[in-house]
């Protein structure tokens, strides 16, 4: 992968010629923006399929909330939440990622058809995680993490957030490589909102090129996060609720795609699917390499893996 781009190719996953869209299915009663909505297995599978129909390239399934102060779910409960949803989506041809900090959940999700392990602790929460993933040869997301989010954000002090996050991620990547995960199967993620204040998240977004300099594809997960609430509220106002931050999320998706991110992780897929395709079209106009994506423009095509209609047709003729 080029040192300038965080896109690259992740071995073991399909290749997209633009920033990929990872849709989120939280099978939890308490995630901060959508807790409880997809808690039932059937509803969660249907939601994942809907996200694919709206343009998601992968679906990230998680059974444990990582919001500040959340109590950990026990292992059996996490397995009960996650594995049937992973199996249901994978059996429909969806590229599934499993969002977990537990090796046992990762292993069972991979056995049920997941293609990628997304561990917000980058392998720190469970010492069995890296060997378990290395054994299967699955790709692995290494997120910047300074520990569980407890009150007061005591771990979120930085003199130079970009340099420190790059440095700490570099150390984690080395540990992951030493643990036997192949370099072309590692994705890095700055962990927006994890032990970070709004100013830290914004600085990291302003310097995605420095994170790409780690030499691995980059995942950016800004969706509905607190820093977007702060930006939208302005200096005095109250932040809008999480579910009113989707337009702001799509704006970050366009910026991340333009910076060469490999993927963006979002709750509301449709606007981000458009944003990454516009970013790709602009890139094509600059480089002379037109997009080959079957979804670009106003497609009538089917999703490449599920065979479902990718997007609806516009109801009325365009004006200009
Ligand atoms: N954030 C959340 C959950 N999983 N995974 C990665 N790789 N990066 C993130 O920043 C991240 C994540 C928390 O958000 P949610 O509760 O809305 O899913």
Question: Model's pTM, two decimal places?
Answer: 0.90
> Domain limits of the chain?
20-289, 290-320
Beta-bridge partners for 57: none
Write out residues with Cβ below 6 Å of ligand 1. Answer: 24, 26, 31-33, 65-67, 99, 118, 120, 141, 143, 189, 191-192, 219, 221, 265
Q: Which atom of ligand 1 is nearest to the CA of 267?
A: 17
Give the Cα separation of 264 and 23 in Å (integer).
8
The reply to whether 87 belongs to the active site is no
CATH 3.20.20.20 fits 20-289, yes or no: yes
The reply to whether 225 belongs to the active site is yes
Give the Cα separation of 225 and 241 in Å (integer).
10
For each of the chain's 320 residues, which pLDDT tens digit applies?
544 566 889 999 999 999 999 999 999 886 666 666 767 899 999 999 999 999 999 999 999 988 777 788 999 999 999 999 999 999 999 999 999 999 999 999 999 999 999 999 999 999 999 999 999 999 999 999 998 877 656 678 899 999 999 999 999 999 999 999 999 999 999 999 999 999 999 999 999 999 999 999 999 999 999 999 999 997 788 999 999 999 999 999 999 999 999 999 999 999 999 999 999 999 999 998 888 775 543 333 444 444 444 444 445 566 56
Q: How far is ligand 1, taken at its centre, from the CA of residue 184, in Å? A: 22
Characterize the bridge pairing of strands 116-119 and 140-143.
parallel
* Cα radius of gyration (the chain): 18
Q: Which atom of ligand 1 is nearest to the CA of 35?
A: 16
């Amino acid at each position: 992968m080029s040192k300038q781009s965080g896109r690259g190719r992740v071995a073991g996953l399909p290749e997209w010629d633009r920033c990929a869209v990872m849709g989120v299915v939280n099978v939890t009663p308490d995630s901060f923006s959508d807790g409880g909505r997809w808690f039932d297995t059937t509803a969660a599978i249907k939601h994942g399929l809907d996200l694919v129909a709206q343009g998601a390239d992968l679906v990230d399934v998680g059974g444990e909330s990582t919001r500040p102060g959340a109590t950990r779910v026990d292992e059996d409960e996490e397995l009960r939440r996650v594995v049937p949803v992973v199996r249901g989506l994978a059996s429909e041809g969806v590229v599934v990622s499993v969002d977990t900090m537990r090796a046992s959940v990762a292993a069972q999700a991979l056995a049920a058809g997941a293609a990628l392990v997304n561990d917000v602790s980058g392998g720190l929460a469970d010492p069995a995680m890296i060997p378990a993933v290395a054994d299967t040869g699955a790709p692995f997301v290494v997120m910047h993490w300074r520990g569980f989010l407890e009150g007061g954000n005591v771990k979120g002090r930085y003199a130079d957030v970009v340099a420190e996050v790059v440095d700490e991620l570099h150390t984690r990547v080395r540990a992951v490589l030493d643990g036997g995960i192949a370099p072309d199967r590692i994705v890095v993620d700055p962990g927006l909102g994890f032990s970070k204040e709004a100013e830290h998240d914004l600085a990291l977004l302003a310097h995605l090129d420095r994170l790409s300099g780690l030499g691995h594809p980059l995942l950016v997960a800004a969706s509905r996060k607190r820093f977007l609430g702060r930006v939208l509220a302005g200096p005095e106002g109250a932040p809008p609720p999480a579910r009113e931050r989707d337009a702001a999320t799509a704006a970050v998706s366009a910026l991340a795609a333009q910076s060469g991110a490999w993927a963006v992780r979002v709750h509301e897929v449709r606007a981000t699917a458009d944003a990454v395709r516009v970013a790709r079209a602009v890139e094509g106009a600059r480089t002379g390499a037109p997009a080959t994506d079957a979804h670009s423009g106003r497609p009538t095509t089917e999703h490449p893996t599920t065979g479902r209609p990718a997007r609806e047709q516009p109801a009325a003729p365009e004006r200009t």
